[in-house]
Amino acid sequence: MAIPIFAHISAASNLIPAAVGLRTFRKLPAGMRYLAFLSILACVQLVAEFIVASLYGNNYFLADYYTVVEFVLLTAVFFFSTKSNTARFILGILLMAFLVYWIIDMLQKPDSLSINTRMAMVSRVFLITMALVGFQGVLAGGTSAISRLPVFWVSFAVAVYSAGTLVVFGLSNELLRMGMIYFEIAWYVNWVLLIAVNLMYSKGMLCTETTPIS
């Protein structure tokens, strides 16, 4: 079955924050540099998925490793974007808890021939929590222009994408069993959200306000 054109558009949208990150890297605050690196890594991940899928027909195992890398880098984005010891403590606890869960899940995973829906759903719950911590930090900063804060856009992007794809990831294997058409329809939601996220990541890196959340 041919890959839908919208999937190609969604994948190509990853180039936008990657290009912005490369262009503005030297001017970015510490936290946002991790976002730039994540954006570039997302492009590498897509290329790797395409090559592995072409050679072996299955690339689901790559998602398991990308999930933990994505989580670590997003944690770094929020951690280095705040001066609040409380926020940093919470972010550290979330990171350690997720790493422990990821290791246990990988040891118990029976195979790599299907989407790890359990890990996908749990990671999204963790990311939503982490985004809320970051967003609360933005509100606590008391600025009248939070839309100019880079971390605001990252928090919003992570929360929206994670919440929107939670159900899609959770039902992926079931949808595949029902038929590819159902899987494709559901993933249009994921593709739309991914485009939105990449635009918000780009906006965050282009913000002129670099005041850290407090």
What are residue 140's phi and psi, to 5 degrees?
-70, -20
Residue with tokens 């918000």: 200
Q: If DSSP codes are grouped into helix, strand and coil, which group holds residue 115?
A: coil
- Asked if 196 and 16 touch (Cβ cutoff 8 Å), the reply is no
- The span from the CA of 71 to the CA of 194, in Å, is 16
Q: How far apart are the first and last CA of the chain?
A: 50
Each residue's pLDDT expressed in tens, for the chain with a length of 214 residues: 567 788 889 999 999 999 999 999 999 999 999 999 999 999 999 999 888 878 877 777 788 889 999 999 999 999 998 888 888 999 999 999 999 999 998 888 766 666 677 888 899 999 999 999 987 866 765 555 777 888 889 999 999 999 888 877 767 667 777 777 777 777 788 889 999 999 999 999 998 555 455 5
- The span from the CA of 68 to the CA of 123, in Å, is 8
Which letter does DSSP use for residue 113 in this model? S
Instruction: State the pLDDT at residue 167.
Output: 73
Instruction: State the pLDDT at residue 63.
Output: 83
Instruction: State the pLDDT at residue 142.
Output: 57
Q: Which residues contact 59 (CB under 8 A, 6 or more apart)?
A: 48, 49, 52, 53
Instruction: State the pLDDT at residue 6.
Output: 84
